[in-house]
Amino acid sequence: MKQSQEMFDYNCLVHKARTRFHIQPGINFFLTQSDKKQMHAFLLTWTALSVSNTQPVEGWIRRAGNKCIQLGYNKIGQRLVDHSRQEADHDKMLVEDLEVLVQLWNQKYENKITTKELLSLELPQSTKDYVTLHENVINSDEPFRQVAIEFEIERISVNYGPRMLESVMYSLGREFTKGLGFLAEHVELDVGHTAFNLRLLDSCFKENKAWVNSMAETGSTALNIYGQFLNDCVVQCQKISQQKLDLSEVRKLNQNFIDQFADSIQ
């Protein structure tokens, strides 16, 4: 599909937030952490805390759709309402994964843990911010901005998901694939969902070109919050791993990188 001028402008505006997301420590931890205990503790935390980000998704999309219909944007609203059903019960996949990950943890480590404990972890500020963002969008007079949130977040599964899966499988082992059902399913499902979001974004811009700015702002905010959520998962997982996070390799790499550039520029 040829990219419309509005879609191009939207992508330019949101590009800064996408770049910022890419260099956040949380996403990089997910993709590069090689310490098995740290990675396992991170997966437990990320899977447990993701339940609160995922459980309301179906309702958020449906309510945003209904609000669009109420404001007279019938086509956009109806497509959102129809699409919402495809997100039903995805939080249940996370709970199933969590059970597998907890079982593996208890086989390997001394400090035993339960699924119930993990599901009652205190929610980080980023999760609260994620809920607030959706509620603000739904209750505003621009509820179609829900499409921008979905587009940016589901794009993460498509763009980063395969690397996330590789990172876990090859550093922790094949047995962990059973605890990655949610991620593996979303790598596949969100290809279709992202194509759907892209078409819907374009329909929104056809409805009103002036929506590009507020869509990009909302999409950027969603990315910033999700990037922070992954950072929060790294911080919270230290309580489970009960070992000091070794950042010496990262520091060494960065220092070498800076030195090399400094040398060649001088």
Q: Which residues bind Fe ion (CB under 5 A)?
A: 87, 90, 154, 190, 193
Residue 196 CB, shortest distance to Fe ion, in Å, is 9
Residue 146 CB, shortest distance to Fe ion, in Å, is 13
Return phi, psi of residue 133, to 5°. -55, -50
Residue 80 or 104 with smaller CB distance to Fe ion: 80
Residue 137 CB, shortest distance to Fe ion, in Å, is 17
Question: HSE (CB half, 13 Å, CA atoms) of 161?
Answer: 18
Residue 142 or 154 with smaller CB distance to Fe ion: 154
Angle at 247 between CA 241 and CA 253, to 5 degrees: 145
Residue 49 or 172 with smaller CB distance to Fe ion: 49
Helices (H) and strands (E) in the chain, counts: 12, 0
Return the exposure string of 183-220: e unless at least 16 CB atoms fall within 10 Å of the residue's CB, then b: bbebbebbeebbebbbebbbebbeeeeebbeebbebbb
Residue 87 or 232 with smaller CB distance to Fe ion: 87
Residue 248 CB, shortest distance to Fe ion, in Å, is 37
Residue 63 or 193 with smaller CB distance to Fe ion: 193
Residue 244 CB, shortest distance to Fe ion, in Å, is 35
Confirm if 150 and 14 have CB atoms less than 8 A apart: no
